[in-house]
Structure 1
Amino acid sequence: MITFIVLLLIVGALLAVADRVAASYAERTISDRVAQQVADQKGTSEQPDVTIEGFPFLTQVARGLYHEIKIELADFSGPAGEGRTIRMKLLDVRANDVRAPLSTIRSGDGQITAGTVTGTGLIDYAQIGQLIGQPGVTLGEQNGKLVGSAPVQVLGQTVKVSATAAIKVNGDTVQVSFSDVKAEGLPDNALVRGLVNSYVQKLAFNLKVPALPLNLKLKSVEPQADGLKITAGATDVALNSAGL
Structure 2
Amino acid sequence: MEHEQTYGRRPRRRGRKVLIGFVVLLLVLVGLLVVADRVAANVAERTIADEVRQQVAQQNARSSPPEVELGGFPFLTQVLDGRYERITIRLRDVQGSVQGDAVALPSLDVDARNVRASLETLRTGQGEVVAETVNGTGTISYQSLSALLDREGLTLGEQDGKLAVTAPLDVLGQRLTVTGIAEIVVGEQGQIALRFENLDAEGLPDVPIARTLLNNFARSISVDVPLPELPFQLTVREVVPRPEGLTVTADARDVPINSVG
- Name the TM-score, length of structure 1 as normaliser: 0.91
Deviation at 1:42, TM superposition (A): 1.2
Partner of 1:195: 213
Deviation at 1:204, TM superposition (A): 1.3
Deviation at 1:108, TM superposition (A): 4.3
Q: Is the 8 A contact 1:120 1:232 kept in 2?
A: yes
Q: Deviations over 1:136-187 (max 9, x none)?
A: 1111122222121211112322121112212222435321121112222234
Aligned residues: 242
Q: Is the 8 A contact 1:172 1:209 kept in 2?
A: no
Q: Is the 8 A contact 2:102 2:148 kept in 1?
A: no
Equivalent position SS for 2:78 = helix
Structure with bigger gyration radius: 2
Q: Is the 8 A contact 1:38 1:212 kept in 2?
A: no
What amino acid maps onto 1:49 in structure 2? E
Moved more, 23-32 or 192-201: 192-201
What amino acid maps onto 2:138 in structure 1? G
Q: Can you give the 5+ residue segments of structure 2 that lack an aligned partner in the other structure?
A: 1-17
What amino acid maps onto 1:84 in structure 2? D
Deviation at 1:227, TM superposition (A): 1.4
Partner of 2:93: 75
1:169 pairs with 2:179: no
1:30 pairs with 2:54: no
Deviation at 1:99, TM superposition (A): 1.6
What amino acid maps onto 1:149 in structure 2? T
Alpha-carbon separation, structure 1, partners of 2:171 and 2:58: 49
Deviation at 1:101, TM superposition (A): 2.9
Alpha-carbon separation, structure 1, partners of 2:216 and 2:110: 40
Partner of 1:217: 235
Moved more, 184-193 or 63-72: 184-193
Q: Is the 8 A contact 1:92 1:119 kept in 2?
A: yes
Partner of 2:84: 66
1:140 pairs with 2:157: yes
Partner of 2:107: 90
Partner of 1:183: 201
Deviation at 1:93, TM superposition (A): 0.8
Q: Can you give the 5+ residue segments of structure 1 that lack an aligned partner in the other structure?
A: none
Moved more, 136-145 or 11-20: 136-145
Partner of 1:57: 75
Q: Deviations over 1:81-133 (max 9, x none)?
A: 1x222222221111111122334334545432101111111111112111111
Q: Is the 8 A contact 2:85 2:113 kept in 1?
A: yes
1:43 pairs with 2:96: no
Q: Is the 8 A contact 1:64 1:100 kept in 2?
A: yes
What amino acid maps onto 1:56 in structure 2? P
Q: Report percent identity of matched pairs.
A: 45
Q: Is the 8 A contact 2:179 2:200 kept in 1?
A: yes
Alpha-carbon separation, structure 1, partners of 2:71 and 2:125: 23
Alpha-carbon separation, structure 2, partners of 1:20 and 1:223: 38
Q: Higher RCO, 1 or 2 (CA under 8 Å, sep at least 6)?
A: 1
